[in-house]
Amino acid sequence: MNDNFHTVHRINFDEPIVEMVARLEREHQDFRSKPETSLSMLVYNRDGSIRILDELGEKIIQHAVEEEARLMRIIMEKARSDSERSIHVMQEHNHVVTFIKNTLPQLRLVPEDKAREQITQFADALKEHFSEEEVIVFPLVRKIAT
Ligand SMILES: [Fe+2]
Ligand SMILES: [Fe+2]
């Protein structure tokens, strides 16, 4: 994870890895629905709309830290020669974190159509990232963990 992070994140190393992957997948489902909710509120409640993204941002950062700490560790230990695509997917976290740390705080100040465009771009990048994890990273972890 890049160094823009100052918060301390707790990682539970006792959670079995296969259960953890199932939980991460459930979290993806939850995360995917949030930008849409945010967009639907944007016109009449900008504050509430952005608060949803703030909460989502915190959860996503914790989620990404866990992926890097636990999934990448097991991949580098047990499937290093197969790790290239997973490393590439994990690097997308930088883009996600940049949106959360830099773009999100500006969203209250920009015109509504600009805010809508930025939230939509973020939502699309997230969906793409989650799909790649579900197709590339999670199956590899399941394979080496069982
Ligand atoms: Fe991720
Ligand atoms: Fe994820």
User: 10 Å Cβ neighbour count for 18?
Assistant: 13
CA of 91 to the centre of ligand 1 (A): 9
Tens-of-pLDDT digits for all 146 residues of the chain? 544 455 678 899 999 999 999 999 999 999 999 999 999 999 999 999 999 999 999 999 999 999 999 999 999 999 999 999 999 999 999 999 999 999 999 999 999 999 999 999 999 999 999 999 999 999 999 999 98
CA distance 121 to 67: 23
CA of 113 to the centre of ligand 1 (A): 28
Query: Model's pTM, two decimal places?
Result: 0.92
Q: Which two tokens stand for residue 79?
A: 């499937």
- The residues near 55 (Cβ < 8 Å, ≥ 6 apart) are 34
What's the confidence (pLDDT) of residue 4?
A: 47
Q: Which ligand is nearest to the CA of 92?
A: 1
The 3-class secondary structure across 12-61, one letter per residue, is CCCCCHHHHHHHHHHHHHHHHHHHHHHHHHCCCCHHHHHHHHHHHHHHHH
CA of 113 to the centre of ligand 2 (A): 28
Please say whether the beta carbons of 108 and 50 come within 8 A.
yes
CA of 63 to the centre of ligand 2 (A): 6
CA distances from 17 to 3, 58, 106, 136, 141 (A): 26, 22, 37, 16, 8
